[in-house]
Amino acid sequence: MAVFLPTAFMGGIPGLLFRQFGITAAVAVLASLVVARLLTPMMAAYFMKPHSTEVKDGRIMGAYLAVVKASLYHRNNTLFVTAIFVALSLSTIPFLKSGFLPAADDARTQVTLVQQPGATIDQMDRTTKKAADIVSKLRDVTHVFSSVGSASSGDSPGASIETATLDVMLTPLNERDRRQSEIENDIRSALSMLPGVRVAVGSGGNGTQLVLSLASDDSDVLEQASEALEEQLRTLNGIGAVTSTASRQAPEVQITPDFSRAAALGVTSSAIAEAVRVATHGDYTSALPKLDLPQRQIPIVVRFKPEARTNLDDIRNIRVAGAHGSVDLGSIADIRIGGSPSEIKRIDRMRNTTVSVELNGRILGDVYREAMALPALEHLPPGVTIVKQGELQRSSELFQSFAFAMAIGVICIYAVLVLLFHDFLQPFTILMALPLSLGGALLPLVATGTSFSAPVVIGLLMLMGVVTKNSILLVEYAIVSRRQGMERFDALADACHKRGRPIVMTTIAMASGMLPVALSLTGGDSSFRQPMAIVVIGGVITSTLLCLIVIPVIFTYFDDLREALTRLACRTGLCHETSEQEADAPNCEPIAFNRSPVTRGHGQR
């Protein structure tokens, strides 16, 4: 419980994922404690049968005890080899890939088609039908549903006819021999022949897209920086499409009034704006005349024909009301065809541009590191900053929350062990098992190319609990044996002898349970479960092998340190004060529990 419960207090988006895990795991461990203390002894008393012959140790146990005794005799060499192993384990950290959640294979993807602003809905419809026909003929594609245009929303007021969406249904995962990212790459290649269309493949789920946001108060500098970044991102290997919110320029008729000329003719800015608005878009709904019908009213909109709205000569002839009569718009304003961003977004009151990169099966952390090494990001213009959004932000929150939960968990474990052993030093022996498991947990991640993500964090938390429990079994037995008068060497050897088999059985049970998940034999999409199983299997096997050999050696070092501190306390007089306090204390004798004479392998009722 001390390991899992702190995860329930993680903050941010990762906290929403881990809160249920922490509470569920803590309650499950508490329930297993009740079963182990009450139900298991009763069932053992009824079902375990006594054996008439003594079970002798096999070759494996004999070899293990010989290794343990040799390690205790040469504990300095053992500690040196262990330190090298831990150092090599930590050296693999720079080679780890990072991300928030692995990309899922849900047998469904999405294709977004975007044309330049100004395209008609008929043009978009023809392009969409052609794209749907191309995609439907690809292998492992079962159905294609197309949707042309997008309705208005809070972020993008007004409907957009330059955008179309293809929902592509794929063959179920267990009926095909390739990943979803490979199929998406085929779709991307097939649609590259469409002229004048920007193609984005992927539903934008976790682990499929890298989002880089640039923000600045200077729109011109921001535009230059975003264009340079978009151009350089296209040089990265193995990625998909690169899109930017700043690259779409909407064609428009730009009217720039000559204020001095307009003032001389008595024409105000509001009169110019109203005349242009009524001619091109129509009057406000409330001001429109209505055609009365028996059951409803129909607004009457009077405006230029579509052809006239794009004709500069017709626009120049628009009459604008002035103080001395109406005048032509062309006589008081400069009218020309120009372009401007199709949309403007801000973050923290600064103009921002978002550049999206399709990962195409690559790991988020790898692409991010390559992107940060580009000159466009290494040498950003003054006033332009990078804003972490999307998975980058959630990934940073994950690592911070995980470090906090690990620290709180270690502190809670130490506090519980101090209360259990009544000692402030020996709990460190048990905690030393945690770094011993890092090698087995991190090396498989590097070998398989698995990213350090949320499932890996869950696996590490589970690993902490198992590793700590194994060390407690070993150390607690040795401490009890020493309190009963056994020498330290014999107590450690006896603890390894008696507790080695339960520890190995726990490891085999957990590794066997996780093996089908690690091999993706459980059916369905295993992208979330597989990293967790890889970490648990590698960590629990490595930590068990090292725990059974190294923990007894570390126990001797902390025991020597405790005896040295005791001698130092006696020299400074603290030991004398303690003896006086013990003499003043009531005469209470500890209860001695004698061991049963029954040999190992026999049962009792």
The answer to whether position 294 is within a domain reads yes
Does residue 7 fall inside a structural domain?
no
Number of domains in the chain: 4
Three-state secondary structure of 207-254: CCEEEEEEEECCHHHHHHHHHHHHHHHCCCCCCCCEEECCCCEEEEEE
Check whether residue 529 and residue 428 sit in a common domain: yes
CATH number, domain with residue 321: 3.30.2090.10
Q: Is 9 a domain residue?
A: no
Residues 487 and 528 in one domain: yes
Residue type, 141: V
Same domain assignment for residues 243 and 263? no
- Residue 120: which CATH number? 3.30.70.1430
Asked, for residue 442, whether it belongs to a domain, the answer is yes
> What is the reported pLDDT for 8?
67
Give the domain-ending residue among 280, 307, 341: 341
Stretch (H or E) spanning 314: helix 312-316
454 and 546 in a single domain? The answer is yes
Q: How far is CA 397 from CA 207, 335, 367, in A?
A: 16, 51, 19
Q: Which CATH number goes with the domain that contains 64?
A: 1.20.1640.10
Tell me, what's the pLDDT at 598? 41
Verify that 452 and 318 share a domain, yes or no. no
User: Are 276 and 136 contained in the same domain?
Assistant: no
363, 317: one domain? no
Co-location of 137 and 185 in the same domain: yes
pLDDT value of residue 280: 80
- pLDDT score of 205: 67
> Quick check: is 308 in a domain?
yes
Q: What is the pLDDT of residue 306?
A: 79
Domain end residue (candidates: 204, 220, 238) = 204
User: Distance between CA atoms of 74 and 72, rounded to whole angstroms?
Assistant: 5
Do 460 and 567 share a structural domain? yes
**Domain check: are 459 and 563 in the same one?**
yes
Asked whether residue 404 is assigned to any structural domain, the reply reads no
Domain that holds residue 169: 105-204
What does pLDDT average to in each consecutive run of 10 residues of the chain (605 residues)?
69 73 81 86 83 74 89 90 87 81 81 79 86 89 85 48 86 83 85 83 75 86 86 85 72 85 87 84 72 82 79 85 85 83 77 84 82 87 83 76 80 84 84 82 84 82 83 87 87 89 88 86 77 88 87 89 84 57 42 44 38
Dist. CA 225–CA 218, nearest whole Å: 11
DSSP annotation of 195 reads T
Does 275 share its domain with 243? no
Whether the CB-CB separation of 491 and 478 falls below 8 Å is answered with: yes
Residue 372 belongs to a domain with what CATH number? 3.30.70.1320
Whole-structure pTM value: 0.69
Q: Are residues 242 and 273 in the same domain?
A: no
Residue 18 domain-assigned (yes or no): no
In a domain, 580, yes or no: no
